[in-house]
Amino acid sequence: MKKGWIIATISVCCLLLAYILYQVSRVKSYDNTQSLAAVPSDAAVIMKGESIDYIYNALFNTIDFKNELGSSALVSESLKEFQYLDSLKVGDGLSAFAHLKELPFYCSLHAQGKESVSQLFIFELPNRKEEAKIQRFIRQMPDLGVTLRERKYNSQTIYELKGKGQHWFASVNNGILLLSQTSLLVEASVREQQNVYSWTNHDDFKQIYKTIGAGSKLNLFVNFDQLPDVLKSILGPGLKRKAKVVGDQSKWAELDIDIDQQAIVLNGFIGANNNGIMSQLLKNAKPQRTQIQDVLPGNTRSYLSVSLESGEDLKKRIASFNAANGEFRKQLSGLELKVGFNPEDDFFNELSGSMALVYTDYNSLQPKANGLLVFKLNSSSRGKEALMEMLRKMNKNALVAKKYTPDDGISYNIYNGFSNDMLELFFQAVLPKVPQKYLSFYEDNLIIADAPILIEQFIYSNMLKTTLSNDKAHQAFRSHFSSRENVFAFCETAHLESFFKESFAPIFGSLNEDQKAALNNFYGFGMQLSGTGPMIYTTSYLQYLPSRESEPRTVWQSLLDSTVNFKPVLVDNHYTQEREVVVQDEANNLYLLSNTGRVLWKKPLDSEILSDVVQIDYYHNNKLQYLFNTRKSIYLLDRNGNHVANFPVRLPSEATNGIAVFDYDNNRNYRLFVACKNRRIYLYNAKGNTVAGWKFNKTDGRVSLPVQHFRTSGKDYIAFADDKRNYICDRRGNIRVKLNKDFIRNANSPYFLQNEDQANDCLVTTCADGRLTKIQLSNGEVTSSELVSAAGNHAFSVFEMNGKSHYLIAEPNKVTCVSNKGKEVFEREFENEINLSVDLYRFSAQNMKFGVTEKSNGHIYLLNENGKTYKGFPLKGKSRFSIGFLKSSASRFNLIVGGAQNYIYNYQVD
């Protein structure tokens, strides 16, 4: 009996052990470390991902540009496939996608047939239980109307599924699920798994696999040997024949992909172990702090720059690539024999090793003339001398093709380029295009182009400092890259279609409006390459920037040291009889700009300018100087920016207003009035000496507006006001008009003379409470009346229109115009707060317009006489503006205004 219990116990234990072993076998975990080896060896691109769910969340929950991404045909087609899988639900109610979305996976791209590409998905199954669940799900597909067929291939089952326009092939074995829309890739994967020796054991791949970043959830492997055939599906006819060149550049690359809210970033390494120009150019190269971008024009849309240690280093690396090219050596020898010297050595000896191929706005009418080539020289003087000597030896004909004169007194020669296609021979391996027809020099830069206008634009941009180094959007973009590099490629996404429409016709050849709009919402795509021993480190960055403002359409923009809040002044050049621009920035620098925008000089001042900049003829010789004051001094500068005579004159107390300059009898016997903090009004002559005959004592309060002079009915009136009372004096400072009652004048309302030379002549202004106030000059009688409801902060001015006086009242959010009878002409409201100083522009006797500037939103308005916005406005601008002709030959007005990012803008106005 006891023995029976022992046997029974052993039997139960055996059965329990068998059951446990059975259950363990059902959930046996798989070692998926070899899953990558299931990818067929002819894969051109392999994506390794933590899960599809991670990618889906990153692309459609994390990023701000999911709508733009969805407009891509490639993305939308891929989504359709997974949306179909997500619609298939059986048994437990979970879809096919739900079973797969959290699994680690690989996706590989393969060339299939003539210029077609297919993809293979490989999912890593954690254990046999999940594997059985997938197999069960596949066999239940017929319940969903999906046709299911099974067949054996190399002893493994391949499933074929058809339904609702979808056609898939699948295989599940040893913890790996294969999915593809072609059976060839599933079969290739089966064979690859059964192969004794895997391509993943090749040294080139093992080396690159080690570079995967720690914690990276999405990786990309590029097989350069197989890449050309895959690329043919997206290349235009002209590039298909050259696709093989891509395969020569490396063996393998690995890139970690990071997707954040407003960018897609790829970081990784490319093997520099091949004979292509990229490997030869960058293997063991020393990354440089490049400065070539500092001179590229601000309207650069795309560029490719190369930065190496020296011109000699650049020459050696290109020569290393050309070493196996017998045709190159033959052509070089023929060129040397023809010109009688070694052009390769002579040319590269003058280069610093930094160069760039630059594309500005694409000219579709002259597509062959696009592109500008820039080389940095070791020395501006020696380099130009040596290269000009080369040019003279090679070009026996007249060298100067054109003389470019961007401004008076400054010109640049544009020469015919080097003959015999020398530059194309040297750089055709490095650059997609080599301009060579014309060349010129600017500082230490050699500029080469196939159209002179491109060279002119380069020089002009550098003169005005409108370069990429001063473009805040581009500098913010560049901050995402290392400060050292060897190669950098960039293109604004909005211009991808223009530049690559023919090269990548299947992608950019037929973009719809939604796709174009999507591209416009990105700023640009950049790729940086840097040599790191036997590998090349690379960073690629795609930036989403939908809120970026479009560039103002100006005649020119000139960069200053700081922001301009000062109203630019149009001044006369007494030599050329043309106009120039005087402006001050917030760093208190005063500038004179030519009518082409070139900074002629810069003068630091002790503080901001309070007055207008007035031109006077100090020497009485018809040559003009610039007169103005700051809080501390009165300045008089000649047109070269030099101080005149004993100026600047230091004021005895800080000025509280801008100087007023009067020439009573038009005999250039100037009088300068200025009010100071000590409550005195000072009168100076043109030599900067105080005038002894001025006897005015002190004001009661602070004078903030300039002193004014009026002449009517044979009498002179000097008028000013402080924050307590008004003063109307004669030319010696004696009170000429005594007011019968005083009032506090509005701080932004000067006096205006009405009824000139008539018995009822008067000064009109507004008082602090907004009432229209008149002072009769004959007897000092003060009368007030309601004008408009401008009791608060406002500014007041008077102008003549259609022979009648009109009043203009500016308030923080509106401008109102009324007739002298009190009838409203217009009322214009603004969404944003405006500056109270509204400028009046009289284009003709019947054409009056008003200039309005926003305080902070960066827009300027020109209003018609009825208060409506003039055509073409608002424009971008951050200061009050001046309008006039800069050139006597001009047919359109120029509008000069302070702009964004320290620029001053010149617009044309009809």
| pLDDT range class, residue 677, cuts 50, 70, 90 | very high
Task: List, in sequence order, every residue forming a beta bridge with 303; answer none if it has no partner.
Answer: 358, 490
Q: Mean pLDDT throughout 582-602?
A: 95
**Using CB atoms within 10 A of its CB, is residue 150 exposed (0-12), middle (13-18) or buried (19+)?**
exposed
Beta bridge partners of 440: 447
Q: What number is the average pLDDT over the span 866-895?
A: 92
Band the pLDDT of 32: cuts 50, 70, 90. low
In 10 A of CB 695, how many CB atoms? 11
Predicted confidence at residue 764, as pLDDT, reads: 96
Number of Cβ within 10 Å of residue 206's Cβ equals: 11
Mean pLDDT on 636-642:
95
Say which residues have a Cβ less than 8 Å from residue 390's Cβ, sequence separation at least 6: 341, 343, 346, 347, 418
CA distance 898 to 688: 31
Phi, psi of 862 (to 5 degrees): -120, 120
- Residue pair 862/842 in contact (Cβ under 8 Å)? The answer is no
pLDDT of residue 12: 47
- Residue 29 pLDDT level (bands cut at 50, 70, 90): low
The two three-digit tokens of residue 426, written as one number: 């040297």
- Quickly count: other Cβ atoms within 10 Å of residue 778's Cβ: 12
- Of 540, 512, 545, the closest CA to residue 72 belongs to 512
The pLDDT of residue 24: 38
Is the CB of residue 627 less than 8 Å from the CB of residue 659? yes
Q: Is residue 713 predicted with pLDDT exceeding 70?
A: yes
Q: Is the pLDDT of residue 503 over 80?
A: no
Please report the pLDDT score of residue 84 as a whole number: 57
- pLDDT at site 728: 96
Where residue 94 falls among pLDDT bands split at 50, 70, 90?
Answer: low
Tokens standing for 74?
């490639």
- Cα 137 from Cα 128, distance rounded (Å): 14
Please give the structure tokens belonging to residue 95: 């879809």
| pLDDT tens string 833-858 | 999 999 999 887 778 899 999 998 88
731 confidence band (pLDDT: 50, 70, 90): very high
Task: Give CA angle at 708 (702, 713), nearest 5°.
Answer: 135
Please check the confidence at residue 8 and state whether its pLDDT lies above 60: no
Report how far residue 182's alpha carbon sits from residue 234's, in angstroms, rounded to the nearest whole number: 20
227 vs 906: CA distance, rounded Å: 49
Strands 671-675 and 660-662: antiparallel
Condensed to tens digits (0 to 9), the pLDDT of residues 603-619 reads 999 999 999 999 999 99
Distance of alpha carbon 196 from its chain centroid, rounded?
54
* CA atoms within 13 Å, Cβ hemisphere of 577: 2
- How far apart (Å, rounded) are the C-alpha atoms in residues 223 and 43? 7
Residue 864 scores a pLDDT above 50: yes
Question: Would the pLDDT of 17 be above 70?
Answer: no
Please tell me the predicted confidence (pLDDT) of residue 15: 47
What H or E segment, with its residue span, contains residue 132? helix 128-139
- What pLDDT sits at residue 91? 58
Tokens describing residue 508: 């950019």
**Token duo for residue 66:** 């999911």
Confidence of residue 273 (pLDDT cuts 50, 70, 90): confident
| Predicted confidence (pLDDT) at residue 372 exceeds the cutoff of 90 | yes
pLDDT tens column, 199-254: 999 999 999 999 999 889 999 999 999 998 888 877 777 677 777 888 889 999 99
Q: List beta partners, residue 773.
A: 765, 784
Peptide bond just before 874 cis, omega within 30 deg: yes
Note the pLDDT tens digit of each residue in 320-329: 888 877 788 8
- The answer to whether the beta carbons of residues 393 and 386 sit under 8 Å apart is no
pTM over 0.75: yes
Residue 16 pLDDT grade (very low, low, confident, very high; cuts 50, 70, 90) = very low
Instruction: Encode 823-833: b = buried (16+ Cβ within 10 Å), e = exposed.
Output: eeebebebeee
CA gap 466, 558 in Å, rounded: 6
* pLDDT band for position 52 (cuts 50, 70, 90): confident
Name beta bridge partners: 354.
Answer: 307
* pLDDT band (50, 70, 90) for residue 119: very high
How confident is the model at residue 265, as a pLDDT? Answer: 94
**575 contact partners, CB below 8 Å, separation of at least 6:** 639
Longest Cα–Cα distance of the chain, Å, equals: 148
State the first-to-last Cα distance of the chain, in angstroms, to the nearest integer: 119
- The Cα 492–Cα 229 span in angstroms is 27
| CA–CA gap between residue 895 and residue 60 (Å, rounded) | 46
Q: Is the pLDDT of residue 48 over 60?
A: yes
- Among 9-13, 482-486, 899-903, which range has the highest average pLDDT? 482-486
Tokens 């579709």 locate to: 364
Residue 264 CB coordination number (10 Å): 20
Mean pLDDT of the chain: 88
DSSP states along 241-262: TTTHHHHTS-SEEEEEEEEETT
For CA atoms 272, 274, 277, 281, the dihedral sign is: positive
Mean pLDDT of 501-522: 75
The amino acid at 101: K
User: For the segment 157-203, what is each residue's pLDDT rounded down to a tens digit?
Assistant: 999 989 877 888 999 988 899 999 999 999 999 999 998 889 999 99
At 171, the amino acid letter reads: S
Confidence of residue 97 (pLDDT cuts 50, 70, 90): low
Confidence of residue 85 (pLDDT cuts 50, 70, 90): low
**Alpha helix positions (H), 194-310:** 203-209, 227-231, 237-240, 244-247, 277-282
Average pLDDT over residues 797-823: 90
Answer whether residue 152 shows pLDDT above 80: yes
Contact 634, 649 (CB under 8 A): yes
Q: For the residues 1-14, what does the mean pLDDT come to?
A: 49
Q: Which 3 state secondary structure label does DSSP give 16?
A: helix
Give the pLDDT band (50/70/90) at residue 22. very low
Q: What sign does the dihedral 453-455-459-462 (CA atoms) show?
A: positive
Residue 329: both structure tokens together: 């050596």
